[in-house]
Amino acid sequence: MKLFVVNGPNLNMLGVREKNIYGTQTYEQLIGYIREVCARENVEVECFQSNHEGAIVDCIQSAYGKADGIVINPAAYTHTSVAILDALKAVALPAVEVHLSDVSKREAFRQVSYAGLACQKSFIGMGFRGYEEAILYLKTIIEQEA
């Protein structure tokens, strides 16, 4: 089983930006955590991060025929990107949305998730553990469909 984990803009700045919201752990620590979870679960993983919408779309499209599912944290593009929504719909892979912070308790504009419309489930406000929950969820549904 192979999953793509796709992260959007500013996640590369974890540990630096808005520590009161996102904590002090770095992006490198997040990737290490994801790799540890996947190794434990015998899941191959490809991690990707970009601050550029088109690069995220390209990554999602590249998952077609290569991955069994996608974990995505579109970050700020969550609330603006129809292109990312369309890419997720185009590849038609099981997808799960993750947000480190609880976007439901933040600014009103963060209440809308375009990407979430193409996702089977969302894990919000759980920090790094949200990625683990997303991976475990995808593993379960993919195994059930096999």
Among all residues, which ones are annotated catalytic?
22, 99
Q: Return contacts of 60-65, CB within 8 angstroms, 24+ apart.
A: 60/4, 60/6, 60/84, 60/87, 60/88, 60/90, 60/91, 61/87, 61/90, 61/91, 63/4, 63/91, 63/93, 64/90, 64/91, 64/93
CA distance 37 to 18: 26
Q: Are 117 and 72 in contact (CB under 8 A)?
A: no
